[in-house]
C-alpha cells in the first residue's frame, strides 16, 4: 500500500510544470473527463462538455491522492484537472447564502479536505451556507495562465445562474480562497470583469463580481514576498517585471472590487503574512472596505484544523459575521 501511495504521489508531483501561454495543446483530441467522486457532495461540470476554453486536447481523468494514514482524518488532493467542476454541499436548512470556495495547493494541486470537506460541519450543517467548492485548472505547459481566473469567473456566474432554483440570493454570492486558492480568489475579486474566456451560454451574461471576498493566508505578491513555488508554477522560473506586477494582487486593487476580509497567522513560514499586509495597505489606499486579522499562531494551511482553544480557531466565526453585513451593529 505504501509503495502504491508513493507512486501516486510521485505521479502527481511530476504533473506540475511552470505555466506558459501556448497555442497548441499537448494532448490529442478526445472527449471530456467526468468529475471523479473525490468528496461527498453534488458534482457539477463547470463548462459544457468539450467546451473548456483552451483545452482542445484530451481531458485526463482527475488524479486523487490520499496523504493521510488516518482514515478518520483524510488529507487528499486532486490534480490533472482538465475539465473543472464544482462540488456542492447543500444544507438541510439553508440560510440563502452561497459561497464559492477555492482551496489551495501551491498551484500544484487542489486540496480536498482541510479547505473543503472540513468546512461542511460548521459552515453547512450549522451555519446553513451552501458551498460550491471549485476544482480549478492548474498551471502547466500549454495552458494559458488565465485558466484559473476563467474557471473562477465561470463558477461565480454558474452559481448565480443556479441560485433561484436552489433558494439562494444571487446578489450575495461571496468567494473564499485559501493560500494559492486565495490568489485565485483575489484574481477574481480584482479581475472579475477581465475577459478571460469567450461566452459559452446564458450564464456568461451574469456578473462574476463576488459580493464579498475572504482571503485566508493568501498568496498575494509575486515579488519579494512571493511564495516561490506558486510563482514558479504560474509565471515560470524567471518572470519579467510585467508578469510579476500583473499577478501581484496588491497591484491590481481597484475601488470597484468587493469588500475583503484577510486572515493570516503571523508565524506563517510558507506564505509570509506580508502578503496580507501588502493587500490590506492597497485596499486602504483605494478606499475598499476591508478587515485584516493577524493571529499570533497557526502557521500555514490550518484550514478548519485549528486547536480548539486558540484565537485562530475563531476565524470561521469572524468570516461568517463578515458575510452577514446586515447583522453588524452600527455605531
Residue 222 pLDDT: 98
Does 4 have pLDDT greater than 50?
no
Q: What is the mean pLDDT of the chain?
A: 88
Does the pLDDT of residue 25 top 80, yes or no?
no
- Read off the C-alpha cell for 23: 497555442
Predicted local confidence at residue 328, as pLDDT: 55
Beta strands in the chain (DSSP E): 42-45, 63-66, 76-79, 85-89, 98-102, 110-111, 130-135, 174-178, 213-216, 260-265, 290-295
Asked if the model's pLDDT at residue 20 lies above 90, the reply is: no
Check residue 59 and give its pLDDT. Answer: 87
What are the pLDDT digits (tens) for 317-326?
999 999 998 7
**Using 50, 70 and 90 to split pLDDT, how confident is the model at 89?**
very high
**pLDDT tens, residue by residue, 28-48:** 333 344 455 566 899 999 999
Query: Distance (Å, rounded) from C-alpha 286 to C-alpha 288?
Result: 6
Has residue 2 got a pLDDT over 50? no
Question: Which residues does residue 88 pair with via DSSP β-bridges, in sequence order?
Answer: 42, 132
pLDDT tens, 261-315?
Answer: 999 999 999 999 999 999 999 999 999 999 999 999 999 999 999 998 999 999 9
Which positions ≥6 away from 327 have C-beta within 8 Å?
Answer: 321
**Least confident window among 34-38, 181-185, 216-220:** 34-38
pLDDT band at 22 (very low <50, low <70, confident <90, very high): very low
pLDDT at res. 39 = 64
Amino acid at each position: 500500500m505504501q509503495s502504491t501511495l508513493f507512486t501516486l504521489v510521485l505521479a502527481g508531483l511530476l504533473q506540475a510544470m511552470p505555466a506558459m501561454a501556448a497555442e497548441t495543446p499537448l494532448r490529442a483530441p478526445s472527449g471530456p473527463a467526468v468529475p471523479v467522486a473525490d468528496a461527498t457532495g453534488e458534482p457539477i461540470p463547470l463548462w459544457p462538455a468539450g467546451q473548456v476554453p483552451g483545452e482542445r486536447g484530451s481531458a485526463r481523468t482527475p488524479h486523487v491522492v490520499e496523504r493521510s494514514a488516518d482514515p478518520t482524518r483524510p488529507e487528499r488532493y486532486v490534480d490533472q484537472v482538465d475539465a473543472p467542476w464544482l462540488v456542492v454541499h447543500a444544507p438541510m436548512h439553508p440560510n440563502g447564502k452561497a459561497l464559492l470556495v477555492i482551496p489551495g495547493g501551491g498551484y500544484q494541486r487542489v486540496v480536498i479536505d482541510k479547505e473543503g470537506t472540513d468546512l461542511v460541519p460548521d459552515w453547512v450543517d450549522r451555519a446553513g451556507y451552501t458551498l460550491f467548492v471549485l476544482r480549478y485548472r492548474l498551471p502547466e505547459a500549454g495552458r494559458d495562465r488565465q485558466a484559473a481566473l476563467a474557471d473562477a469567473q465561470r463558477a461565480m456566474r454558474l452559481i448565480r445562474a443556479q441560485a433561484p432554483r436552489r433558494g439562494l440570493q444571487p446578489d450575495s454570492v461571496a468567494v473564499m480562497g485559501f493560500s494559492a486558492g486565495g490568489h485565485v480568489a483575489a484574481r477574481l475579486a480584482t479581475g472579475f470583469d477581465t475577459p478571460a474566456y469567450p461566452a459559452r451560454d446564458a450564464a456568461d451574461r451574469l456578473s462574476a463580481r463576488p459580493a464579498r471576498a475572504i482571503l485566508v493566508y493568501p498568496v498575494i505578491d509575486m515579488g519579494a514576498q512571493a511564495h516561490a513555488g506558486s510563482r514558479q508554477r504560474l509565471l515560470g522560473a524567471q518572470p519579467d517585471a510585467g508578469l510579476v506586477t500583473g499577478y501581484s494582487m496588491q497591484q491590481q486593487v481597484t475601488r470597484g472590487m468587493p469588500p475583503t476580509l484577510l486572515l493570516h497567522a503571523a508565524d506563517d513560514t510558507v506564505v509570509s503574512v506580508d502578503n496580507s499586509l501588502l493587500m490590506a495597505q492597497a485596499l486602504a489606499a483605494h478606499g475598499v472596505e476591508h478587515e485584516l486579522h493577524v493571529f499570533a499562531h497557526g502557521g500555514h494551511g490550518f484550514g478548519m484544523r485549528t486547536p480548539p482553544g486558540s484565537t485562530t480557531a475563531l476565524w470561521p466565526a469572524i468570516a461568517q459575521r463578515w458575510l452577514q453585513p446586515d447583522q453588524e451593529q452600527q455605531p
